[in-house]
Amino acid sequence: MPDLLLELRSEEIPARMQRKAAGDLRKLVTDALVEAGLTYEGAQEYWTPRRLALDIRGVSARSRDVREEVKGPSTKAPEAAIQGFLRKAGLSSVAEAHVHSDPKKGDFFVAHTVKPGRGAEEIIASAMPGIIRDFPWPKSMRWGGASAKPGSLRWVRPLQSIICTFGPETEEPVVVDFEVSGIRSGNKTVGHRFHAPEEITVKRFEDYAAKLEAAKVVLDAERRKEIIRTDAANLAFANGTELVADEALLEEVSGLVEWPVVLLGAFEEDFLQIPAEVIRLTIRANQKCFVTRPAGASDTLAPRFVLTSNIEAKDGGEEIARGNGKVVRARLSDALYFWKTDQADLPDLAQLEASAEKFKLDLQKPLDQRMARLDHLNVTFHAKLGTQGERVSRIMRLARELAPLVGADPDLTERAAVLAKADLQTEVVGEFPELQGAMGRKYAALQGEQASVAQAVEDHYKPQGPSDRVPSDPVSIAVALADKLDTLVGFWAIDEKPTGSKDPYALRRAALGVLRIAIENNIDLPLNGLIEEHLEKFGLTDIANRNSVASSLSRFLEERLEVVLRDRGVAADRLAAVLDLTGLVQGHPVLRVVRRVQALHELLNAEVGTNLLAGTKRAANILAAEEKKGTAIAEAVDPSLFRDETEGKLFEAMNRSEREAAQAIQAEDFSLAMRALSTLREPVDSFFERVLVNDEDAAVRANRLALLARIRAATGAVADFSKIAG
C-alpha cells in the first residue's frame, strides 16, 4: 500500500503554535482521506520552526466504486417527468433505466448508477488546497504581491514550498500535483537555514528524514527536546552545577531550533544577590535560557546558564556564548537595579504624606512608600470599582473584621492587608507581574515586618488553583479571605459575573479559594451575612438590592461548593437534600453546610441509613398521597388512639430521637444528629411491618398519619430526604 509524505515549509513558525498545527494537519488530512473513501494504516506528524510534516502509511490506492439506485417516476408518467429523471440520473435513454415493480405504485423506473472510485492521488490533490487555505492558525497573515488582491492565501508566516509525494514502498513515489496561491507541490525542500540552504530532492518519508538529518535538521521535536535535555544536563554537570529543569521552556526552545547545540554561558557572582526567582525569570523570559544551581543546592543559583543555539558554530560556540552572556549581564544589571531601587527611598516623599496617613504608613520604610504611591497615583483597579487605594482600604477594613473570626491578631492583620498590594508599585513586579506577592514578602521581611505579616503579603493570593496550597497562618487567612471576598462582592455589585466560558477576573478561582480556606482551616464563615455587609462598602445602600445581590453571589459560591463536594464523592442528590433548605443562600455558614453534607453522606453510606431513608420515604409518600386526597391528619399524635405496640414504641423513640437530634443540631454536631435519627430505623421498620396506616377507623388513621408526619419532620430537620434518590 502506498505512503503519503507531506511537508509545508514556511518562514519561522512561532514555537507555541507548532505542535498543535502539526496535529491539526494530521487530523485534517486523514479526515479528508477517510471522507473520500480511502483508508490508511497510520499517520505521524512532525514539526520544526520552519516546517510541518506528515507521514501517512498504508493509504489505499483507490476509493471503492459506489453503487446507487435512484428511484424514478412511474413508467406511465408524462414524458417530461421521465426526461427530467433521465437527466438527473445521467442516463441517455430509457433503455438504460431498469423497471422495478411495487404492489402499490406499479411499475416505475430505477437508474442503477455507479460512481467509480477515485485514485488516491486525485483525492489528495483536490483536498490539499482547501486544507491549506482554511488552516486553523490562531493568527494568520497575507504577504507579497498576491496580497494586493482580496482573498489571497493566509498562513502563519509566508508559506515557501510544499512537498507531496505518494507511492508504494517498492516504487519511486510520484509527486501529487496541486497548487495553492502560486505555490506548486513538488518533491523539494531545503535543509538548515545556514548549514544547508541548498535544495534537497526527496522521495519517501525515510529518505526525507534522513536527508534532513544530513542537512542538519532534526525533524522530530521530541528528539530535539531529548538532545537539549541530555546535553544541557551533562554540560551543567561537567561544570559542577545542576540544571534547573523547566519543561515549558524546553518545549519552547525545541521549537526555536532545527539543529540544537547546547552551550554554557556565565555571569558575575555579584548578580546572585538578586533573588533566585528573579534571576531565573529574567534569563528565561528574555533569553530563553536555563539556569543552573550549585550541585545539591535547592534555592540558590550558580552564575552559569545554559543556552541552546541553532548552529554548530565555526569557533565551537565561543562567540555565541560570549554574546549571550553579554545580554544576560545587561538584563541582570536591570534586574539588580530594580531590586535595589525597590529597597531605596522614592523621590518626593512629601507628596505621599496624605496617603501615608490614610493607611497609617511609615514613610521611612520602602514598602510603605510604595503603598502610599499606589494610593497617591490613583491607579485604577477597575473603571467601575475605583482605585487600588480604595480597594486596599476596603480589604483592610474587612480583614480587620474577619480577624476575630479566624483567630488572628487584628492589628497585624490590618498591617498585612495594608502592605498586601504595595509590591504592585515595585520595579521587579512591574517587570515580572507573576512575582506579585512573592516580592512583597521579601521586601516586607527586609524592612523588618513581623513574620506572619510578611507571609500574608505573599499568601493572601493563595490558593491560586485547585492544587495550590491553602494559607494556614491566621493573619494570612484573614487577608486572603478579605481580598477574595472584596473581589467577588465588588464584581457582583457592578454585575460583572462570569459567564459560561468567560471569567476574566478569575472569580471562580476566588470563590473556590474562599471555600477551601474556610473548609481546610475549619472556619465557620457566615458568608451571606459578610457579603451583605461588605456590599455597603460599594455604595449599595438599598437593602432589597443588597439582599438580591448577596443571594446571587451566595448561590454562585454554593455552586462552587457543590463542585468541591462532588469532587469528594458526594452524590448530587445528597447535596440537594442539604443545600436546598440549609445552604449558603439561606445564610448557613460554610463549614456547617459541609458538616451537614458529610454527616448525611456517612449516614447514607451505612445500612442503617439506607433503611431509615426507605422508611422515611415510605412515610413521606403515604403522607403525600393522603394529603392529595384530602384525608384528615391529626394535628398531634394521641397515644390513646394507638392500637399496636409498635405505634407506642415508635412514638417513644421519636420523642427521644427528636430531642437528641435537636440538641445535636444546636451544638452543630451533625453526625450525632444523624446517629440520633438512625435509632428510628428499627421502630419505623416494625411499625410498617405490623401496622396498616389506612385503618378503617378514621381517628386511628388520622393519628397514624400524624405519626408519619412526625417522622418526616424529624428527619427534615437534618436534611430533605425526599430529594434523595433510591
Partner 1 sequence: MSRPAHLDPTRSFQGLILTLHDFWAAQGCAILQPYDMEVGAGTFHPATTLRALGPKPWRAAYVQPSRRPKDGRYGENPNRLQHYYQYQVILKPNPSNLQELYLGSLAAIGIDPLLHDIRFVEDDWESPTLGAWGLGWECWCDGMEVSQFTYFQQVCGIECAPVSGELTYGLERLAMYVQNVDNVYDLNFNGGEGDEKVSYGDVFLQAEQEYSRHNFEYADTAILFRHFEDAEKECRALLASGTRGEGQRHLVVLPAYDQAIKASHAFNLLDARGVISVTERQSYILRVRNLAKACGEAFLLTDAGGFVAQAA
Site residues (CB under 8 A) for partner 1?
11-12, 14-16, 49, 139-150, 156-158, 160, 193-195, 256, 287-289, 307, 309-311, 313-315, 319-320, 322-324, 326-328, 330, 377-380, 383
For residues 526 and 590, give the distance between their C-alpha atoms in angstroms, rounded to a whole number: 7
Provide, rounded to whole angstroms, the least separation between the CB of residue 130 and partner 1.
23
Provide, rounded to whole angstroms, the least separation between the CB of residue 327 and partner 1.
5
Provide, rounded to whole angstroms, the least separation between the CB of residue 310 and partner 1.
6
Residue owning grid cell 437534618: 718
Provide, rounded to whole angstroms, the least separation between the CB of residue 439 and partner 1.
21
Partnered with residue 8 across adjacent β-strands are 52, 162
For residues 164 and 202, give the distance between their C-alpha atoms in angstroms, rounded to a whole number: 10
For partner 1, give the closer residue by CB, 148 or 544: 148
For partner 1, give the closer residue by CB, 389 or 683: 389
For partner 1, give the closer residue by CB, 320 or 356: 320
Nearest-5° Cα angle at 705, 701 to 707: 120
For partner 1, give the closer residue by CB, 374 or 419: 374
For residues 14 and 354, give the distance between their C-alpha atoms in angstroms, rounded to a whole number: 49
Provide, rounded to whole angstroms, the least separation between the CB of residue 263 and partner 1.
9
For residues 450 and 695, give the distance between their C-alpha atoms in angstroms, rounded to a whole number: 75
For partner 1, give the closer residue by CB, 309 or 487: 309
Other CB atoms within 10 Å distance of the CB of residue 569: 8
For partner 1, give the closer residue by CB, 195 or 617: 195
For partner 1, give the closer residue by CB, 18 or 554: 18
For partner 1, give the closer residue by CB, 378 or 663: 378
Residues contacting 482, CB < 8 A, separation 6+: 395, 396, 398, 399, 402, 417, 460
Cell of 226: 531529548
Is residue 244 within 8 A of residue 292, CB to CB? The reply is yes
Other CB atoms within 10 Å distance of the CB of residue 22: 22
Provide, rounded to whole angstroms, the least separation between the CB of residue 380 and partner 1.
5
Provide, rounded to whole angstroms, the least separation between the CB of residue 181 and partner 1.
12
Provide, rounded to whole angstroms, the least separation between the CB of residue 552 and partner 1.
28
Question: Going along 75-136, which residue ranges are E strands?
Answer: 98-102, 106-115
Provide, rounded to whole angstroms, the least separation between the CB of residue 459 and partner 1.
27
For residues 468 and 502, give the distance between their C-alpha atoms in angstroms, rounded to a whole number: 22
Residue owning grid cell 512583597: 440
Provide, rounded to whole angstroms, the least separation between the CB of residue 572 and partner 1.
45
For partner 1, give the closer residue by CB, 319 or 652: 319
For partner 1, give the closer residue by CB, 320 or 709: 320
For partner 1, give the closer residue by CB, 320 or 691: 320
For residues 705 and 697, give the distance between their C-alpha atoms in angstroms, rounded to a whole number: 12
653's enclosing H/E stretch is: helix 645-666
Residue owning grid cell 457582583: 492
For partner 1, give the closer residue by CB, 190 or 565: 190
Interhelix angle 590-605/543-567, rounded to 10 degrees, is 40
Is residue 148 within 8 A of residue 140, CB to CB? The reply is no
Cell of 53: 510534516
Provide, rounded to whole angstroms, the least separation between the CB of residue 231 and partner 1.
15
Provide, rounded to whole angstroms, the least separation between the CB of residue 238 and partner 1.
21
For residues 527 and 385, give the distance between their C-alpha atoms in angstroms, rounded to a whole number: 21
Cell of 565: 463536594
For partner 1, give the closer residue by CB, 183 or 604: 183
Is residue 133 within 8 A of residue 127, CB to CB? The reply is no
For partner 1, give the closer residue by CB, 183 or 549: 183
Residues contacting 528, CB < 8 A, separation 6+: 550, 551, 554, 584, 585, 586, 587, 588
Residues contacting 681, CB < 8 A, separation 6+: 608, 611, 612, 615
Cell of 420: 498586601
Provide, rounded to whole angstroms, the least separation between the CB of residue 591 and partner 1.
40
DSSP one-letter code for 9? E
Provide, rounded to whole angstroms, the least separation between the CB of residue 145 and partner 1.
5
Contacts of the segment 295-300: beta carbons below 8 A, 24+ positions apart = 295/237, 295/240, 295/241, 295/242, 296/242, 297/242, 300/272, 300/276
For partner 1, give the closer residue by CB, 201 or 380: 380
Is residue 291 within 8 A of residue 305, CB to CB? The reply is yes
Q: DSSP secondary structure string, 214-255?
A: HTT----HHHHHHHHHHHHHHHHHHTTEEE---HHHHHHHHT
Provide, rounded to whole angstroms, the least separation between the CB of residue 290 and partner 1.
13
Nearest-5° Cα angle at 543, 538 to 544: 115
For residues 50 and 194, give the distance between their C-alpha atoms in angstroms, rounded to a whole number: 13
